[in-house]
Amino acid sequence: MKKRKNIITVAIDSPAAAGAGTQAKLISKNYNLFYLDTGKIYRYIGMLKLNNNNKFTYNLVKHKISKLKLSNLKNRKLLSNEVAKSASEIAKNKRIRNIVHKFQQRCAYSPPKNYKGSVLDGRDIITVQVKDAMFKFYITASLKVRTKRRFAEYKKLNIKITYKEVLKSLRNRDKSDKKRKYGPLKKTKDSILINTTKLSKKACFLKIKAIMDKKLNN
């Protein structure tokens, strides 16, 4: 893969439902950057596991990821809690993470020419995938606020789930994503912390934009 030169790279990590996806989309729109929600790739593989339980092999994953189109990641079924749980399980696996790595590298460093760069969000973006990003953010929010937000999203999507189930699922995923051996979620010293607990989407974006504009206009 040939890396494009002089592009803007933005790397974001966050626990589930902290608002990283919303901010990444706003960043991509404002700066004309290619956006990849890397969690969707793990969800895609998590769903593959749920649908092919005993036929789920590394070769199957490799094959599917080699043919993966961004439109595949728009499937609404990927948004369910069962798929999220399955994604968090398969994401512990080093071989699976290596398969996903290549796809993410292409999106981060060689985005389509009509974009000025890329923005990726996930769990290991600032630590592994785009370590040398021009901008590195760690977005977080309290577990209570994240649960409220995710519960409201599920309601809007007509997904039947209780508040307690959402809370439990987020708590378990936080633990698993932070404690796992490969690509654990963690804040790095060179990343900027954005706590969205008490911030509106707009206030949060303005904070990020001020940081980015300062560097880009220098």
Q: Which residues of the chain form contacts with ligand C5P (CB under 6 A)?
A: 16, 38-39, 42-43, 84, 87-88, 91, 122-125, 173, 177, 183
Phi, psi of 138 (to 5 degrees): -120, 110
Contact yes or no for 94/124 (Cβ under 8 A):
no
Q: Measured from the CB of residue 178, what is the shortest distance to ligand C5P in angstroms?
A: 10
Nearer to ligand C5P, 16 or 26 (CB): 16
Distances from the Cα of 32 to the Cα of 27, 36, 93, 206, 214, angstroms: 8, 13, 33, 16, 17
Q: Which two tokens stand for residue 37?
A: 């929600």
Nearer to ligand C5P, 75 or 206 (CB): 75
Q: Measured from the CB of residue 43, what is the shortest distance to ligand C5P in angstroms?
A: 5
Q: Distance from first CA to last CA of the chain, Å, rounded?
A: 30
Contact yes or no for 119/34 (Cβ under 8 A):
yes
d(CA 217, CA 30): 15
Nearer to ligand C5P, 94 or 215 (CB): 94
Residue type, 92: K
Nearer to ligand C5P, 153 or 213 (CB): 153
Nearer to ligand C5P, 15 or 117 (CB): 15
Q: Measured from the CB of residue 31, what is the shortest distance to ligand C5P in angstroms?
A: 21
Q: Which two tokens stand for residue 167?
A: 């809370």
Q: Measured from the CB of residue 150, what is the shortest distance to ligand C5P in angstroms?
A: 9
Nearer to ligand C5P, 74 or 113 (CB): 74
Calculate Rg over the CA atoms of the chain: 17
d(CA 156, CA 13): 25
Q: Measured from the CB of residue 88, what is the shortest distance to ligand C5P in angstroms?
A: 4
Q: Measured from the CB of residue 84, what is the shortest distance to ligand C5P in angstroms?
A: 5
